[in-house]
Copies of this chain bind each other. A is one copy, B any other.
Amino acid sequence: MEVETYPTGRRLARLEGRPITVADAGEFGLIRRITARATPGTFTLLGPGDDAAVLRAPDGRVVVTTDLLVDGRHFRRDWSSAYDVGRKAAAQNLADIAAMGAVPTGLVVGLACPPDLALDWADGLADGLKDECALVAVAVVGGDVSRSPVLTIAVTALGDLQGREPVTRTGARPGDQVAIAGRLGWSAAGLAVLARGFRSPAALVNAHRRPEPPYSAGPRAAELGATAMIDVSDGLIADLGHVAQGSAVRIELDSAAFDVPGRLREIGGALGLDPMDWVLAGGEDHALAAAFPGDLALPTPWRVIGRVTEGTGVVVDGEPFGGPGGFDHFA
């Protein structure tokens, strides 16, 4: 019921010929821009504009996860567009929901930013959030904004288990097979390209800017009987390490089971880097890694890459992985 679609600040900016900023839109104008772009999700009962939103939770339980993205740390505005950052911010949270075997039901977003941030940037972020949410038929149902010297995005995603038990990190058993769905190493290869000042190959650079998590593979894995599952955000070895530790097992990977894409081999050769390091240690592609009973024939997109045995840790071809480790956000 807000009627002031063009706040005074925007009119002023137009008269003065300067770029329109988020401060011109004002607090409530900005919240509206971030939340109002989305078409209502199929789980939305009460959307933005009140003290809180209301989502359907048909299962009688709700899955919830949260992530922060900080300018200069999780993204660079000269490498990624606002739209890219929106896609990525939504994707990494939605992937966490999928990794529990759940389907997403909605998102809330907090945006802290300098008052002179271009309103176009905020609009691009909102568009990216909206489009990533649309892939799984959900919406941004609430938000908060604040002034801050550092552009920071806080996303919380909710999900529904559809009657299934959550697939945690603790259920892998010796004899299970280990499989992945989604891309590995693409984001890391794209980052290596960007870090060297290049902007192509586009496929790799875009993979870094916008991960493509295999959302539907998560609930499907739960249906198939996955014993453990995790979202690969910090690197396969590091994240499978959490599964090995949580399940008190050893995970043995076969390097020959990985089909390293030609694009990664080519750019690895050009940069003098081993693409297998990207595949095993690169984060941010948000693939899903899971353990399944050993006798199960796994449908696509799941590819078997190893097995669960007695012991501890993660080994590749029987040896501890000698490449770079996972990402510590305080390192």
State the A residues within 8 Å of B (CB).
Answer: 1-2, 22-23, 25-28, 30, 45-46, 49-70, 73-74, 96-97, 99-100, 102, 106, 108-112, 115, 141-150, 152, 154, 156-159, 161, 166, 168-170, 229-231, 245-246, 248, 328-331
Q: A52-B63, A55-B62, A62-B57 in contact; A152/B149 too (CB < 8 A)?
A: no
Contact assessment for A50 and B168 in the assembled complex, using a CB-CB cutoff below 8 Å: yes
- The answer for the CA separation of A108 and B168 in the assembled complex, in Å, is 18
Q: Which residues of the partner chain B approach A61 to less than 8 Å between Cβ atoms? A: 45, 54-57
Q: Which residue of B lies closest to A156 (CB)?
A: B156
Q: Which residues of the partner chain B approach A27 to less than 8 Å between Cβ atoms? A: 328-331
19 A-B residue pairs with Cβ-Cβ distance under 8 Å, sorted by A, are A26-B330, A26-B331, A50-B100, A50-B169, A51-B100, A52-B64, A53-B64, A57-B59, A57-B61, A64-B141, A64-B156, A64-B158, A66-B143, A67-B110, A69-B146, A74-B146, A147-B329, A152-B152, A152-B154
Contact assessment for A62 and B26 in the assembled complex, using a CB-CB cutoff below 8 Å: no
Q: Which residue of B lies closest to A29 (CB)?
A: B330
Q: Which residues of the partner chain B approach A97 to less than 8 Å between Cβ atoms? A: 51-52
Give the most central of A67, A111, A248: most B CB within 10 Å. A67
Q: Which residue of B lies closest to A145 (CB)?
A: B329
Q: Which residues of the partner chain B approach A26 to less than 8 Å between Cβ atoms? A: 328, 330-331
A68's partner among B52, B146, B168 (CB-CB below 8 A) is: B146
Closest 5 A/B residue pairs (Cβ): A154-B154, A57-B57, A52-B65, A156-B156, A51-B99
- The answer for the CA separation of A156 and B110 in the assembled complex, in Å, is 9
Q: Oligomeric state, in number of copies?
A: 2
Q: Which residues of the partner chain B approach A54 to less than 8 Å between Cβ atoms? A: 61-64, 100, 161, 166
Q: How far is the CB of A213 from chain B (nearest CB, A)?
A: 12
A154's partner among B1, B73, B110 (CB-CB below 8 A) is: B110
- The answer for the CA separation of A142 and B65 in the assembled complex, in Å, is 7
Q: Which residues of the partner chain B approach A141 to less than 8 Å between Cβ atoms? A: 64
Q: Which residues of the partner chain B approach A60 to less than 8 Å between Cβ atoms? A: 56-58, 60
Q: Which residue of B lies closest to A25 (CB)?
A: B330
- The answer for the CA separation of A97 and B142 in the assembled complex, in Å, is 13
Q: Which residues of the partner chain B approach A66 to less than 8 Å between Cβ atoms? A: 108-110, 142-144, 154, 156
- The answer for the CA separation of A53 and B23 in the assembled complex, in Å, is 35
Contact assessment for B329 and A46 in the assembled complex, using a CB-CB cutoff below 8 Å: no
- The answer for the CA separation of A32 and B54 in the assembled complex, in Å, is 29
Give the most central of A23, A30, A63, A102: most B CB within 10 Å. A63
